[in-house]
C-alpha cells in the first residue's frame, strides 16, 4: 500500500496532538507537585507557629496566676517549641509513608 501525502499529513497531525497532550500532562503534574510541596510547607509553618503560640499563652496565663513572671512563660514556650517539632516530625513520617 502506497502512502499518500494526505495520509502522511494526517499522521503528522496525530503525532502533534499526542505531543501536545503529553506536554500538557507533564505541566499539570509539575503544578501538582508544586502545590503539594507548598501545602506541606505551609502546614509545617502553621504547626510550628501554633504550638509555640499556644505554649507561650499557657505560660503567660500560668505566670499571671502564680506570680512567677517570666519563668513559666519561658518553660512553656520551650515546651510549645518541642511540641511543634514533634508535630513536624510526625508529619514528615506520614508524608514519607505516602511516597
Helix (H) or strand (E) holding 92: helix 71-98
- What is the per-residue pLDDT across 55-88, written as a single tens digit (0 to 9) for each? 999 999 999 999 999 999 999 999 999 999 999 9
Which residue in this structure is represented by grid cell 507548598? 38
- What is the per-residue pLDDT across 24-55, written as a single tens digit (0 to 9) for each? 777 766 668 888 889 999 999 999 999 999 99
Range of 70's domain? 5-98
Q: Classify 1 as helix, strand or coil.
A: coil
DSSP for 11-74, written as a single string: HHHHHHHHHHHHHHHHHHHHHHHHHHHHHHHHHHHHHHHHHHHHHHHHHHHHHHHHT-TTHHHH
Tell me if 72 sits within 8 A of 62, measured CB to CB: yes
What's the number of domains the chain is made of? 1
Whether pLDDT at 3 is above 70? no
Amino acid at each position: 500500500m502506497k502512502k499518500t501525502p494526505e495520509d502522511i499529513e494526517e499522521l503528522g497531525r496525530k503525532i502533534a496532538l499526542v505531543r501536545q497532550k503529553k506536554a500538557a500532562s507533564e505541566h499539570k503534574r509539575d503544578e501538582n507537585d508544586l502545590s503539594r510541596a507548598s501545602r506541606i510547607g505551609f502546614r509545617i509553618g502553621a504547626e510550628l507557629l501554633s504550638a509555640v503560640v499556644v505554649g507561650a499563652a499557657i505560660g503567660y496565663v500560668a505566670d499571671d496566676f502564680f506570680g512567677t513572671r517570666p519563668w513559666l512563660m519561658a518553660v512553656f514556650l520551650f515546651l510549645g517549641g518541642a511540641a511543634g517539632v514533634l508535630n513536624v516530625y510526625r508529619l514528615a513520617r506520614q508524608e514519607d509513608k505516602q511516597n
